[in-house]
Amino acid sequence: MTQPMLSIKGLKVAYGGIQAVRNVDMDVYEGELVTLIGSNGAGKTTTLKATTGMIPMKGGDILYRGKSIKGVPSWDLLAQGLVMVPEGRGVFARMTITENLHMGAYLRSDKDGIAADIEKMFAIFPRLKERAEQLAGTMSGGEQQMLAMARALMSQPKLLIMDEPTMGLSPAMTKKIFEVIKNVSSEGMTLLLVEQNAKLALEAADRGYVMSSGETIMNGKAADMLNDEEVQKAYLGE
């Protein structure tokens, strides 16, 4: 079997003496959309932060494209194509939409390619094109989420990690964000998604993992998990 693009093995992370993540095992293969679900406080965001070098791991290891990334800084991982859209979006509020997109491409030097990719982002997110010269801070939460995703895609990621992309968004905007996630996935992008809306996440994903109290407790094909009674009771509100 081919090696995973991302492999998390026995991950442990502690915050100020509290063991936030106790034992996470997870693989993401090239071209897959994998979702990580679980209740608030399960340790999902902490797992993502450790994966992207934002917080140190206390134990275990994370392999990206076959190599350990323990201790590798975030900017170095970004240059290697490991890109995260953080919870809370984090757009540059005092820059225009176009300037934000250019910031996503700051490690690139192919001017023509950057210009072409900006047009591609405008095609995926027509709303951003309409507001190209508007300051990002004046946009709605949903529009800022679109911009955060577009900016991440401008960096030409090999693995795109998204943390709660629909948090605080309306049902209509949530649907739109998931349409884009599915489109990006269908073009071959490898995606790892943490999402509070477990039903939508599992419907979009190839495979899923469930986290509880800092541990991965279940994984499988997303379609099977949607039909699993325990998952339905605990996470799908059924």
Would the pLDDT of 238 be above 70?
no
Mean pLDDT to the nearest integer, 126-150: 93
Tell me which of 84 and 15 has the higher pLDDT.
84
- State the greatest distance between any 2 C-alpha atoms of the chain, in Å, as a whole number: 51
pLDDT classification of 137: cutoffs 50, 70, 90: very high
Q: Is the model's pTM score more than 0.75?
A: yes
Lowest mean pLDDT among 14-23, 63-72, 151-160: 14-23
* Residue 154: per-residue pLDDT: 95
In the chain, % of residues over pLDDT 70: 99
* Residue 90: per-residue pLDDT: 80
Would the pLDDT of 150 be above 80?
yes
* Residue 237: per-residue pLDDT: 74
Kindly list the distances between the CA atom of residue 83 and the CA atoms of 26, 79, 94, 157, 167, in Å, as whole numbers in the listed order.
Answer: 17, 9, 22, 6, 19
Query: What structural domains and CATH numbers belong to the chain?
Result: 1-81+157-238 (3.40.50.300), 92-155 (no CATH)
Mean pLDDT to the nearest integer, 183-187: 92
Tell me which of 63 and 90 has the higher pLDDT.
63
Torsion on CA atoms 49, 53, 59, 63, rounded to nearest 10: 100
Contact (Cβ atoms closer than 8 angstroms) between residue 55 and residue 20:
no
The whole-chain average pLDDT of the chain stands at 92
Provide the H-helix boundaries in 13-161.
Answer: 44-51, 74-79, 97-104, 111-124, 126-130, 141-154
pLDDT classification of 1: cutoffs 50, 70, 90: low
